[in-house]
């Protein structure tokens, strides 16, 4: 487990140099006419409203409603509108890094899907929000395509040899989200209960949902957090 | 989005061209020269080589495909299992029928 | 593609403010993004859609420079560093301009 910057006391330092740098770059760009303050505000507003709970919701609803699942798998872009996500926003063509073709990858007992973008860090932001730091590191991007089982094991996910690990390198216009299988022990649960256990990492494909784990729970100590590196 | 008649069908074996390029591309180095199977069609789109230079109006449209590779084909020393695969999308201009040219 | 590989002093001096990256571990614990990070992301989108700095080129520069001249900075600071670096490299802004603007911004924010 890394002990480096996991507890960076950002809240305690009221003004950071990066806050200053961000604002300085933005203001210089606006002064030079590269874009307007309103352009920036619209992109910010849009980006900040994104959260992975949309992906959780879509997954939970799919588990309960086969017709919804069918629509989602056959036309992800269009079906996203049913949960309030329009991939064409905010510009009418999506943002320069969020294109308009969205595909949901369904896990089965024989196939486990996982997403990566080796060329940059394409990520389905409209349904998953901002990507985790590690998703953007060359470490993850280069190794996931080459040693997927090793990387998954580092996240604590060990899959049997007869399960096909299918890595999706999102290199073009499409964006992907993994739809995990509904875990044991969730019989009779409603959509909200189910959505709570579909965490971000499950939707990327580096974890599997469990009936006893939600993203809002504090991970159990002292065995290390879920996703902690095994030595 | 335009509809175009794709040259390859689902199930076809295709080889990614082993071209080096000085231009903007989204074809990864590790798929070049590799053979895989077309598993899905994607909507036609302007090729990234043109889009990157802002040629949106009269850029070249081409069908796109999802191609599935066996990991053991991509990496000779692959440490996972035989069943493992990798999928990625290729524009038609980067693909040729398997067996033509070099394997 | 920006070709400059020399670090800019104005950027290196921000290092004092973050915990240095000492490990290239993949999983480094959860971190709540600071508000400036999403603002930075919006700046990246604006620059890319306006044609000043393409997102893919920026990401490639983040990889290249983030693993070399700015290797001591945590991953989440890369976009800010590399956007600033690239704009200076391309003579869109100068280092002096950036330094002066940062001073002005800092003074303004510290007033409250």
Do B95 and B16 meet the contact criterion of CB atoms below 8 Å apart? yes
Strand ranges for chain C from DSSP E: none
| Chain B contact partners (≥3 CB pairs within 8 A) | A, C
Check the CA dihedral C31-C21-C19-A3 and report its sign.
positive
Q: Which CATH class is domain B13-92?
A: mainly beta
A130 contacts on C by Cβ (under 8 Å) = 33, 37-38, 41
The pLDDT score that the predictor gives to residue A6 is: 41
Helices (runs of H) and strands (runs of E) counted in chain B: 2, 5
Same domain, A121 and A26: no
Q: Which of residues 37-56 of B touch C (CB under 8 A)?
A: 52, 54
Strand ranges for chain A from DSSP E: 101-106, 111-116, 164-169, 174-179
Q: How many domains does chain A have?
A: 2
Contact A4 C14 (CB under 8 A): no
The pLDDT score that the predictor gives to residue A145 is: 94
Same domain, A31 and A71: no
The pLDDT score that the predictor gives to residue B58 is: 60
> For residue A66, is it within any domain?
yes
pLDDT band at C4, cuts 50/70/90?
A: low
Mean predicted confidence (pLDDT) in C44-72: 87
- Find the CB nearest B84 among A101, A148, A171: A148
Q: Which domain holds residue A88?
A: 50-204
Spatial distance between the Cα atoms of A56 and C71, rounded to a whole number of angstroms:
35
Contacts of C110 (CB under 8 A, 6+ apart): A15
Higher pLDDT residue, C23 or C52? Answer: C52
Chain A residue nearest residue C102, CA to CA: A24
Ordered strands of the B13-16 beta sheet: A111-116, A164-169, B85-91, B61-70, B35-46, B13-16, B95-97
> For residue A175, is it within any domain?
yes
Spatial distance between the Cα atoms of A158 and A153, rounded to a whole number of angstroms:
5
C56 contacts on B by Cβ (under 8 Å) = 24, 26, 52
- State the ipTM, two decimals: 0.89
Same domain, A41 and A117: no
Spatial distance between the Cα atoms of A113 and A185, rounded to a whole number of angstroms:
22
Rounded to 5°, angle at Cα A13 from A133 and A50: 40
> For residue A77, is it within any domain?
yes
C58 contacts on B by Cβ (under 8 Å) = none
Q: Which of residues 84-123 of A touch B (CB under 8 A)?
A: 101, 118-119
* pLDDT tens readout for residues A140-154: 988 999 999 999 999
């Amino acid at each position: 487990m890394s002990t480096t910057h996991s507890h960076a006391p950002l809240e305690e330092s009221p003004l950071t140099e990066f806050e200053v740098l961000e604002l300085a770059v933005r203001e210089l760009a606006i002064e030079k006419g590269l874009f307007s303050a309103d352009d920036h505000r619209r992109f910010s507003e849009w980006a900040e409203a994104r959260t992975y709970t949309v992906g959780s919701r879509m997954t939970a609803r799919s588990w309960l409603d086969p017709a919804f699942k069918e629509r989602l798998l056959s036309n992800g872009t269009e079906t996203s509108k049913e949960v309030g996500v329009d991939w064409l926003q905010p510009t009418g063509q999506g943002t320069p890094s969020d294109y308009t073709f969205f595909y949901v990858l369904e896990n089965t007992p024989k196939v486990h899907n996982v997403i990566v973008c080796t060329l940059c860090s394409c990520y389905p932001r409209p349904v998953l929000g901002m990507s985790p730091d590690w998703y953007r590191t060359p470490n993850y991007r280069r190794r996931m395509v080459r040693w997927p089982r090793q990387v998954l094991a580092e996240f604590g996910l060990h899959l049997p040899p007869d399960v096909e690990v299918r890595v999706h390198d999102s290199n073009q216009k499409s964006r992907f989200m993994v739809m995990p299988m509904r875990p044991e022990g969730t019989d009779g649960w409603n959509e909200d209960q189910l959505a709570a256990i579909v965490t971000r990492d499950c939707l990327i494909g580096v974890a599997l949902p469990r009936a006893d784990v939600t993203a809002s729970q504090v991970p159990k100590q002292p065995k290390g957090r879920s996703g902690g590196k095994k030595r | 989005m335009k509809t175009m008649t794709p040259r390859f069908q689902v199930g076809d074996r295709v080889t990614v061209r082993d071209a080096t390029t000085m231009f903007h591309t989204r074809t990864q180095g590790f798929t070049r020269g590799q053979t895989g199977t077309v598993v899905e069609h994607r909507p036609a789109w302007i090729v990234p080589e043109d889009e990157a230079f802002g040629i949106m109006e009269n850029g070249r449209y081409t069908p796109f495909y999802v191609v599935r590779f066996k990991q053991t084909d991509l990496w000779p020393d692959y440490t996972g299992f035989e069943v493992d695969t990798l999928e990625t999308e290729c524009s038609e201009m980067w693909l040729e029928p398997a067996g033509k040219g070099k394997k | 593609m920006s070709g400059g590989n020399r670090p800019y002093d104005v950027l290196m001096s921000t290092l004092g403010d973050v915990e240095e990256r000492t490990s290239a571990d993949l999983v480094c614990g959860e971190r709540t993004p600071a508000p400036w990070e999403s603002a930075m992301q919006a700046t990246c989108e604006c620059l890319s859609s306006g044609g000043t700095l393409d997102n893919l080129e920026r990401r490639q520069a983040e990889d290249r420079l983030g693993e070399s001249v700015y290797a001591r900075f945590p991953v989440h600071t890369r976009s800010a560093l590399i956007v600033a670096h690239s704009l200076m490299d391309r003579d869109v802004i100068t280092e002096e301009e950036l330094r002066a603007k940062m001073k002005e911004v800092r003074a303004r924010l510290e007033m409250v």
